[in-house]
Amino acid sequence: MPDAPLEHPDQRRQPREGGEPPAPVPPPPAYEPILLRNIGIPDSHLLKTALSRGAYQGLKKAQAMAPEAVIEEVKKSGLRGRGGAGFPTGNKWSFVPKDKWPHYLIVNADESEPGTFKDRALIENDPHLLIEGTLIGAHALGAEVSYIYIRGEMVLGAKRLEAALAEARAAGLLGNRQIHVHRGAGAYICGEETGLLESLEGKRGYPRLKPPFPALVGAFGKPTVVNNVETLANLPAIFDKGVAWYRTIGTEKSPGPKIFCVSGHVRRPGNYEKPLGYPLEKLIYEDAGGLRPGRTLKALIPGGSSMPVLRADEVQGLTMDYEAVQARGSLLGSAGVIVMDDSTCMVRCLLNISRFYAHESCGQCTPCREGSTWLAKILGRIEAGQGEGGDLELLLDICDNIAGKTICPFGEATAWPVQSFVKRFRDDFAAHITQHRCPQRPAAVAASAR
């Protein structure tokens, strides 16, 4: 199917014929960031700066409430997990049993999904926001000990967190609670919550079979909640400003602010905090500065590299919330928005993604371990101009034997990109196979590369 270029919203406004010009519509009030509001402030990572900007006010209000009441407030806020699955946070907390102790709260700061770089920004620039959110969660769950599992490569983030924790501890903000920073070794699979728990316990990061879910049997065999950094970063504002205020942001089913990580072919890639339900076209063409001159949009991945890719015509008029993205055939995931213009070779792009997943498969489940490697090999062959008739069917067949047949959803993360790229850009793949080269590369270059 041909790719329709994505229009800028302004281009769609039609001039009125005759009659009075319409009364000017006042612009909506500028959105004031909540999660990223301290980024750019000098020394934003220090306690004195954080306190001067209102930090720990939400914690005070939450601590004045009974833990059950805190859980109820979070349920009412409609906050959904920002780590990928969008599960309602308050509901998840309420699954933790009251007759089995101790409870643990684990902060998932592994942030391994390609195209996602929001948690790192929060941790490095505003560690006290995360510590405050963690303390609110720990109060609600009755967790005396919490762990922040941070990926090994985030050296600055780990240092800033340790320093911020020392400051918060010295200021008496932690009370009797402990928060430990645990550095991972940089494995994608340790972002999956049960792989993370295994790694935290000092073992190889092999995901666990569920059930039992971590709420019942989690860290060290005890009831545990694993929450993403951005999820917890929402809590201070919910308790400081109240649920009614929070629900004015975003949509009915997807309330609150969201950090969109925009990367790829835009002129201003970066983190943009917006209310959930924000128009994608505004995000790309206004906030992120639009595409390079003369280029049109070809494809877009809305939720990090493991989520299904969408064609340009499929994202027209899309709003960035859980329901709307799902209705178009993808998922909001971690909100890593990867933008691809018409210069993109979809085969090379998918090869790049598939190589990543083949490398990161933990190897525990045969379909994923073997299948992800075969996907990357076949794609490598097609990209090199040596594809054969039947390769696309073979790719899809391998995907069918991975998705839903593994212990953890890494299987889907491996299969979904392949299935969606081949489905939506089949002509591009077929052209590589029949022409024995990338049609977008000059023949001479393709031949010399072989």
Ligand X SMILES: Cc1cc2nc3c(=O)[nH]c(=O)nc-3n(C[C@H](O)[C@H](O)[C@H](O)COP(=O)(O)O)c2cc1C
Q: Which residues bind ligand X (CB under 6 A)?
A: 81-85, 87, 108, 110-113, 189, 191-193, 226-228, 231, 408-410, 413
Q: At its nearest, how many Å lie between ligand X and the CB of residue 232? A: 7
Residues 6+ apart with CB under 8 A from 205: 184, 187, 189, 190, 195, 196, 198, 199, 362
Q: Which of 364, 358, 394 is nearest to 376 (CA)?
A: 358
Q: At its nearest, how many Å lie between ligand X and the CB of residue 319? A: 20
Name which of 214 and 275 has its Cβ closer to ligand X: 214
**Residue 95, number of CB atoms within 10 A of its CB:** 12
Q: Which helix (H) or strand (E) holds 278?
A: strand 278-279
Q: At its nearest, how many Å lie between ligand X and the CB of residue 413? A: 5
Name which of 136 and 345 has its Cβ closer to ligand X: 136
Name which of 184 and 290 has its Cβ closer to ligand X: 184
**Residue 66, number of CB atoms within 10 A of its CB:** 10
Q: Count the residues in the chain.
A: 450
Q: At its nearest, how many Å lie between ligand X and the CB of residue 429? A: 25
Residues 6+ apart with CB under 8 A from 417: 301, 305, 306, 307, 308, 309, 350, 353, 354, 357
Query: Phi and psi for 444 in degrees, rounded to 5?
Result: -65, -40
380 in Cβ contact with 352 (< 8 Å): no
Q: At its nearest, how many Å lie between ligand X and the CB of residue 15? A: 45
Q: How far apart are CA 330 and CA 350, in angstroms?
A: 16
Q: At its nearest, how many Å lie between ligand X and the CB of residue 9? A: 30
Q: At its nearest, how many Å lie between ligand X and the CB of residue 183? A: 14
Q: Name the 3-class secondary structure at 425.
A: coil
Angle between helices 346-360 and 366-383 (to 10 degrees): 150
Name which of 83 and 275 has its Cβ closer to ligand X: 83
Q: How far apart are CA 405 and CA 47, in angstroms?
A: 47
Q: At its nearest, how many Å lie between ligand X and the CB of residue 376? A: 17
Name which of 47 and 74 has its Cβ closer to ligand X: 74
Q: How far apart are CA 404 and CA 97, in angstroms?
A: 29
Q: Which of 324, 320, 322, 95 is nearest to 210 (CA)?
A: 95
212 in Cβ contact with 97 (< 8 Å): no
Secondary structure (DSSP) of 215-277? TTS-GGGS-EEEEEHHHHHTHHHHHHH-HHHHTTSB-SSSBSEEEEEEEES-SS-EEEEEETT
Q: At its nearest, how many Å lie between ligand X and the CB of residue 43? A: 27
Name which of 210 and 377 has its Cβ closer to ligand X: 210
Q: At its nearest, how many Å lie between ligand X and the CB of residue 83? A: 3
Name which of 92 and 432 has its Cβ closer to ligand X: 92
Q: At its nearest, how many Å lie between ligand X and the CB of residue 347? A: 24
If you ran DSSP here, which 8-state letter would residue 88 be given? B
Residues 6+ apart with CB under 8 A from 29: none
User: Could you tell me which residues are beta bridge partners of residue 182?
Assistant: 149
